[in-house]
Structure 1
Amino acid sequence: MGAIFSLLLEVVYLSTWIGGFPFPYTIVVAFFFNMVLTRTALLWTDNVFVALIPLAAWIVGFVLLMFGVEVTGDMLMANNIRTVLLLFSGLAGGIVPVLKTK
């Protein structure tokens, strides 16, 4: 549930502008928050697949928000490089703790 809530906040604030310049700080937030979720999951279990459940929920939510425009007609994520960077940043943040344990 925390992964989905963080994703919604990251998507809402992805197109933030500060002082006339785009400032997509949620890309960095996605990296660190998914890292924290995976590290916390690794504290509870030794099974890597179980520890990656928050990341899987985040990815499923991302895909649903990305392609939900076909169902609802509302475009929640822009088709630009920030959305791609958010995806890869979230993936990297969730995978790094798993790779460090090996």
Structure 2
Amino acid sequence: MSTVHVLAFITTKPGQRAAVLERFKANVPAVLAEDGCIAYEATIDAEGAGAIQTPAGADTFVVVEKWASLDALAAHGASAHMKAYAESAKDMVTARVIHVLSPS
């Protein structure tokens, strides 16, 4: 199986993005240590991009991930540290949209 890319759009309750990102960033070292994790990073709208972008918005961040396989991604989702992160942020998050993509 080839690598997979993930774009996870996380929308928080108004004004809660920074608090959720704080929890996210605390979890990053554990995720990067997972077998099959190639890249894992939270991103926000770039300032000054103007008309070339469709903004995600002030309460949204996008997690850009790359995994060695779908199996590695599945193990990531089932990991104890991801369950703990999700539990810690659940009352601050209003939506999650996950895109799992394969190289063309």
Quickly name the TM-score band, shorter chain normalised: 0.3 to 0.5
* Higher RCO (CA 8 Å, separation ≥ 6 residues): 2
Q: Give the TM-score, by structure 2 length.
A: 0.33
Write 1 or 2 for the structure with the bigger share of helix: 1
